[in-house]
Amino acid sequence: MDEIEAYCDQIDEVLAADGRILGLQLNTVARTPAESWAAALSNEELDTLARRIKQRNGLPQQLGYGGSFHVSRQAGRAARVAAKGPAS
């Protein structure tokens, strides 16, 4: 079993126990990580991760591509506002 399947299993356990998950935020890093073993995911890798999780669990998702967010329509206006950050 790979990491993605194990992650999906954890989500399934929460949902099976009547847990409510409104959606998922999947992000890669926006800057060089402090830990040398950590690395950014490419946009393609993040999209693949999101697709596999969505196929398995069907939850709405918000994706962060190295400092920017793609917000699905299901996430709604509140998520779009939150992704923009505080007003200056």
pLDDT 10s digits, 48-69: 999 999 999 888 998 888 755 5
The dihedral built from the CA positions of residue 75, 76, 78 and 82, taken in this order, carries a sign that is: positive
- The amino acid sitting at 39 is A
Strands 24-27 and 68-71: unpaired
The kind and range of the H/E element at 45 are helix 43-57
Q: Does 79 score more than 90 pLDDT?
A: no
State the residue range of the domain holding 70: 3-84
Encoded tokens for 30: 């926006």
Compute the distance between CA of residue 84 and CA of residue 88 in angstroms, rounded to an integer.
Answer: 11
- pTM comes to 0.64
Assign 70 a pLDDT band (cuts: 50, 70, 90): low
> In the chain, how many domains are there?
1
Average pLDDT over residues 34-38: 88
Assign 15 a pLDDT band (cuts: 50, 70, 90): very high
Which phi and psi (to 5°) does residue 65 adopt?
A: -100, 85
